[in-house]
Structure 1
Amino acid sequence: MSRFHLGLIINPLAGLGGPAALKGSDGVAAEALARGSEPRAALRTRIALECLRPLAERIEFLTFPGPMGGDLLREMGFAHRLLGELCEGMTSADDTRQAVEVLQTAGVALILFAGGDGTARDVCAVARQEQPVLGIPAGVKIHSGVYAISPRAAGELTRRLIEGGLIRLASGEVRDLDEAALRDGRVAARWYGELTVPQEGGYMQQVKQAGMESEELVLSELAAWLEDTWQRDVRYIFGPGSTLHGLAHNLGLQTSLLGVDVVENGQIIAHDVTEAQLFELVDGYPAFLLVTAIGGQGHIIGRGNQQISPRVLRAVGLDHLRVVATKRKLETLAGRPLLVDSGDPALDEAFPDAIRVWAGYKEELLYPLGYGA
């Protein structure tokens, strides 16, 4: 039986900026490493490839040396061929673009790439319209519709393709934010193009919807409810996003729009924290975690809030997690579940099948929750 040829490109710098509270990784990988961030793209890719282990004898990967794919495939025992060379030092956007061109020339059936929106832009810059690609989410900000909803979903979708399932191809938008603007608290997104991606059921994430109008009355009511239920000497973690930023504003707190802040006894005690700082603040200390959903997409964990890591979630406790979302934001999901993608499959599976959502003054909704495929 002939082997199914898959291309694999890992951006080893993807996701480094999240735990370091840098809002992204473009151009700041060295700083993120200096702050203690550890590479995570290979770990995310491993989760996807675990789904393909039962089909290992039917697959041959075409990839690139070292952290761009070769190291991981060797460790996992997958048959693979190394193409090209890798220069010493950190990888670059040029490395990704050249890798895509080489894989296209080699005629692979599907190119798997692990990264974030910056990586998707690099792939989009050189990928031909007829070349199917699929993103494994490993970056900090992922607004593009070319990524699976989780690494596991990417693996499951690829498995179905190899097994002969009928997989529809469609165009997925590539979008990216200006990370320099993000670090200044401004959201500036633009469209960069489209890629041909497999589309099947709930495996692919939706393009993030921006510009949802602020529902001041609802946020005011939510603030009143939270103020009524404050517990003394308990730390409240405010995740990123306009919903929680607006909620905090109604409480007289100036939180960071795109960062993570910690409040105790009605006062901000830590502003725009890193993952390490956040863990130190909650480890062994009573705390509640407030997160919101990305409009139109549904992620509550794993998109733009990587400071809220698996160890932070375990330290706080899933029973102390509170999702805050207006009904209008939930309606943008069109019935799709809220999503978690912490990077730890065992932790993702520990989440309940449905989660309570604060949607108004003393108003809780029970909403489905999933972790990908």
Structure 2
Amino acid sequence: MSARFRLGLIINPFAGIGGSVALKGSDGAEIREQALAMGAEPLAQTRTEQALLRLQPYRDQLEVFTVTGTMGEELSKQLGFKTHTVYQPLQSPTEASDTRAAAEQLVNAQVDLILFAGGDGTARDICAALEACDAEHTTVLGIPAGCKIHSGVYCVTPAAAGRVVEDLITGKPVSLMDADVMDIDEAAFREGRVRAKRFGEMAIPAELQYVQSVKVGGQESDELVLDAIADHVIDELEPDDLCLMGSGSTVAAVMERLGLDNTLLGVDLIQDETLVASDQTAAQLLEQIEAHNDIDSVKLVITLIGGQGHLFGRGNQQLSPALLKQIKRENILVVATKAKLSSLNGRPLIADTGDAELNQQLCGTIAVITGYHDKVLYRVASPG
């Protein structure tokens, strides 16, 4: 008989508890207690059961390594799986530290996959644990049970998670991919503001029909993507960089992330996360960069006109040919959401600077920042 599949299981028993009572999250003991006082019922057990029911026909081929009590042991035994406990929580109710400690113990137990139920906070805890024990290549998979499910490590439904594990148990070839771990600021979220950030990545089975992508639609998701783009741009800027911030709402998101006033239809200058000058003319911009002591550290953040694709020549005439010729092409940071690029229906970005030679120099493919550590290559062409 072949060796049994060793499934690691962690359930965050309070995941999503604040959702039904409009608390928009469950991070922190205070929110959890408030949710329970308001009559919220934990649903993580039910959602994990929906995933594990798919695996019951394979009980003879499967062993579950898990945590005592409601973090996995109770449900695993209830469903008839051969169950081993590798960790006992240090407190009741359990805390995020128990999730991290349990993940480390599952790594030590050499499980084939860590299946966990929770939200983005749980994914962050698992990710942190794997990093702490130098086990970033451990394969994981999330069962969506939280209020916030922005991370790409989660399946689209609990049942889909069961399908992926079933494929692994039955020996179907399943590729691996690295997926982003994202989370938002719950306090800001409760005030109607989405502040998302990428915290790392984890290896997951690459069954794309069952695994979700980072959200890209709707107002909340648009804000999530714009914040991710802004975080990447900010990471790329060095304190000595003199950065020209072009016009448009995508660039404005970077300025907002920095807490700086922005000229939506103009060009601003920043350095070391400080606003140097607002709404500059072509002559003023040229004067500013010529006075800068290192032309190699001059950068430009620019977006395209949605639906048209113009990078230069529409709405940003302040970026004159004389100015652009002094900025290294690799220092032009193009930012756009994938939805904005998709609206072009394959048409290239347009460089219409008014200088034919410069237009040709700008042609070719350029990296477009579409998220945090997420870029796509897109073609740039000259007009005509």
Q: Does TM-score exceed 0.5, indicating one fold?
A: yes
The one-letter code of the counterpart of 1:167 is: V
**CA distance in 1: counterparts of 2:164 and 2:51, whole angstroms:** 10
1:70 aligns with 2:73: yes
1:27-57 deviation per Cα after TM superposition (whole angstroms, max 9, x unaligned) = 1111111110111101000000000011111
**Helix, strand or coil at the partner of 1:19:** coil
2:32 is matched with which residue? Answer: 29
Q: Which structure is richer in relative contact order (CA contacts within 8 A, separation 6 or more)?
A: 1
Q: Distance in 1 between matches of 2:149 and 2:141?
A: 13
> Highest Rg: 1 or 2?
2
- Whole-Å Cα distance in 1 between the matches of residues 222 and 159 of structure 2? 30
> Pairwise mapping of residues 1-373 of structure 1 onto structure 2 (< 5 A)?
1=1, 2-27=3-28, 28-127=31-130, 128-209=135-216, 210-211=221-222
Native 8 Å contact 2:194 2:223 kept in 1: no
- Partner SS for 1:60: strand
> How many angstroms does 1:153 deviate by?
0.3
Deviation >3 Å, runs of 4+: none
Aligned sequence identity (%): 50
CA drift at 1:88? 4.0
| Partner SS state of residue 145, structure 1 | coil
In 1, the alpha carbon distance for the partners of 2:92 and 2:5 equals: 32
Q: Find the aligned partners of 2:208 and 2:192 in 1 and give their Cα distance.
A: 35
Consecutive unaligned residues of structure 1, counting only runs of 5 or more, are 214-327, 335-373
Name the SS for the 1:211 alignment partner.
helix
SS in 2 for 1:83: strand
- TM-score (ref. length: structure 1): 0.56
State the alpha-carbon separation in 2 of the partners of residues 33 and 77 from structure 1: 30
Q: Deviations over 1:107-145 (max 9, x none)?
A: 000000000000000011021222000000000110000
Does the 8 A contact of 2:12 with 2:122 survive in 1?
yes
CA distance in 2, matches of 1:87, 1:193: 26
Distance in 2 between the 1:89 and 1:35 partners?
20
SS in 2 for 1:24: coil
- Aligned-CA RMSD value: 1.8
Instruction: Give a deviation string over 1:215-247, Cα, whole Å, max 9, x none.
Output: xxxxxxxxxxxxxxxxxxxxxxxxxxxxxxxxx
1:168-198 per-residue CA deviation (whole Å, 9 max, x = no partner) reads 1000000001000011111110110000000
The amino acid of 1:211's aligned partner reads D
Q: Using a 3 Å threshold, how does the CA distance of structure 1 residues 212 and 63 change in structure 2: closer, same or farther?
A: closer
